[in-house]
Amino acid sequence: MVRDHVEQLSQFEADERRLQEETEAVRVENALLRDQIRDIAGRAASKQREVRGEYERSAQAYSEKFREQSRQQKENIAIIKDQYKKV
């Protein structure tokens, strides 16, 4: 009977050790996955900042071009009006 308890205890210890090793393996895998997720999130945030910056530069360039064209059109209209008055 004592022998049975010793065998059960030994089996219990072996099972406990196996479970601890599995738990540690899962923790290591989770840590690696967490690091990968952080890396991906960091790259995504960086790409988002880059795209937003490019969008803002593009919008500003378009606005400047539009303003220049508008200014030039007003000048042309003023010239045409002036020429028309001379006729």
pLDDT of residue 46: 97
Which of 63, 64, 82, 86 is closest to 74 using CA atoms?
82
Measured CA to CA in angstroms, residue 22 lies from 25, 27, 28 at distances of 5, 9, 10
pLDDT bin (cut points 50, 70, 90) of residue 9 is confident
Q: Is the pLDDT of residue 5 over 90?
A: no
Q: What is the dihedral of CA 73, 79, 85, 86, to 10 degrees?
A: -160
The C-alpha atoms of residue 65 and residue 83 are separated, in whole angstroms, by: 27
pLDDT tens digits for 33-83? Answer: 999 999 999 999 999 999 999 999 999 999 999 999 999 999 999 999 888
